[in-house]
Amino acid sequence: MLEAQIIQQRCANDDGTERCRVQSAWWTACITGLLFSMAGFSWLYVVWQPISAFQWMLQTAGISAVVLWLLWLGLDKSRSVQNTALHNALGVANWLTVGRGFLIAALGGFLFQEPPGSTAGSSWLIWVPGAIYIIAAVLDYVDGFLARTMRSETRLGEWLDTQIDALGLLVAPILAIGHDRLPSYYIGVSLAYYIFQAHIWQRKKNNGRVIKIKPHPAKRMIAGFQMGLVAVALLPIFSRPVMTVAATIFMIPLLAGFLRDALVAGGYASVNDLQQTRWDGHLDFLSTKLLPVLLRLIIILTGMVFLFESIVASVTDEPAAAGAVLNSAMPFGLPATPVYAVAVFMIAVGFMARLGALLLSIIVAGALTAWDAPLSLFLLLFCALSLMLTGSGAQSIWQPEDRLLLERQG
């Protein structure tokens, strides 16, 4: 009752009707989150174990409360970037972001429990966590796209989107690590954002100099790769060795980026007007020009060796070790050599090389089921995954995927 009177008084004293309406939207979000948790509990109570379903509900409710707390903190930011007038509604894009937060909460309900589907008769439940995170990742793209196309971008949307992204990359990797799908050191990805924010907070508390970090397309791309990696890790598709290699490769640029931003934000590294350090140009040349050429060369040479082994094997009727492993992993008994050759050719000439690297990664990852697999397959996987991050670099015919990954759509 007292809280309602306080809210009513604030509505009268501040932005009037607009503030009342956005606060009403917050209460609607509270009810929606409660109904979502109850519905999930009711469903899991039937298809899963009752005790596990009850634990899921408690954990989901706790993380949903965090989402609602973040939304409450950001209500005053419900203003467009161009003016300071408070909006009287959250807008479609922000509602999608809140919904994404509730999906992350649902994912967090599976923390500190046996993986769903581990009991007899409910094996299909093992796909549920991964499916939830994939939907959340898709909504991460959709909410921003809608905000830009509908010209309804707000400070709340920008701030809340970042907070939900960070929450998702906190909850989902911890779940994957707990289910032994990712290495324990990948927890660094989960904590990186919060450690960076703690560093900024400490600087401000001590009246230290803090430089606001400008957004960069490559950062969004790297964060997107983390989401894709974690989504795949939560699905029972690839082996633990594959996920360990992929996690190690993908986490390095993200952690390096946070370290670089911490040095810049704290004033420890001098920057120019474009907020570039003296070493940024060298690192950019190394990672996007020189390294991709080296990776493509290794893939080409390894591909030639594999093709040579396949030709020799077809003549002598003696199966090639790596080729046999690749063929055994192909679905429907399809031969691996033609698909592999297409992927290597795309990478060699720089024609949609990231797509070719993805195709090659899938082929090789399906064959890597244990750590004692041929070393050449691990080398191929390492190069292909790295090429997905760097792009094909110089001497490339066509790289349309660069625009999709580095430019915001809408």
pLDDT per residue over 281-334, tens digit each? 999 999 999 999 999 999 999 888 877 777 776 667 665 556 666 766 676 667
Taking alpha carbons only, the member of 62, 72, 61 closest to residue 34 is 61
Who wins on pLDDT, 340 or 96?
96
Provide CB contacts within 8 A for 259, sequence distance 6+: none
Q: Is the pLDDT of residue 258 over 80?
A: yes
Taking alpha carbons only, the member of 243, 225, 199 closest to residue 371 is 243
How far are the Cα atoms of 105, 109, 118, 119, 317 from residue 113, in angstroms, in the given order? Answer: 15, 9, 11, 12, 50
pLDDT the model gives residue 25: 93
pLDDT the model gives residue 256: 96
Confidence of residue 137 (pLDDT cuts 50, 70, 90): very high
285 phi/psi in degrees, rounded to 5:
-65, -45
* Averaged pLDDT for residues 340-360: 94
pLDDT the model gives residue 325: 65
Provide CB contacts within 8 A for 237, sequence distance 6+: none
How far is 239 from 332, CA to CA, in rounded Å? 20
How far is 231 from 48, CA to CA, in rounded Å? 22
Q: Is the pLDDT of residue 10 over 70?
A: no
> Where along the chain do its domains lie?
2-282, 285-406
Q: Is the pLDDT of residue 102 over 90?
A: yes
What are residue 80's DSSP bridge partners? 154
Instruction: Give the chain's mean pLDDT.
Output: 89
How far is 380 from 361, CA to CA, in rounded Å? 8
Q: Is the pLDDT of residue 53 over 70?
A: yes
pLDDT the model gives residue 215: 87
What angle is formed at CA 34 by the lines to CA 28 and CA 35, rounded to 5 degrees?
Answer: 90
Provide CB contacts within 8 A for 207, sequence distance 6+: none
Quote the radius of gyration of the chain (alpha carbons, Å).
24
Q: Do 86 and 15 contact (CB within 8 A), yes or no?
A: yes
Confidence of residue 4 (pLDDT cuts 50, 70, 90): very low
What are residue 349's DSSP bridge partners? none
Q: Is the pLDDT of residue 336 over 80?
A: no
For residue range 194-216, list pLDDT tens digits in order. Answer: 999 999 999 999 999 899 999 88
Say which range, 228-232, 321-325, 334-338, has the weakest mean pLDDT. 321-325
DSSP 178-207: HTTSS-GGGHHHHHHHHHHHHHHHHHHHTT
pLDDT the model gives residue 1: 44
* Averaged pLDDT for residues 179-191: 97
Max Cα distance, the chain (Å)? 88
pTM: 0.91
Say which range, 4-18, 98-112, 133-147, has the weakest mean pLDDT. 4-18
Who wins on pLDDT, 194 or 19?
194
pLDDT the model gives residue 309: 74
Q: Do 132 and 60 contact (CB within 8 A), yes or no?
A: no
Who wins on pLDDT, 307 or 277?
277
Who wins on pLDDT, 176 or 19?
176
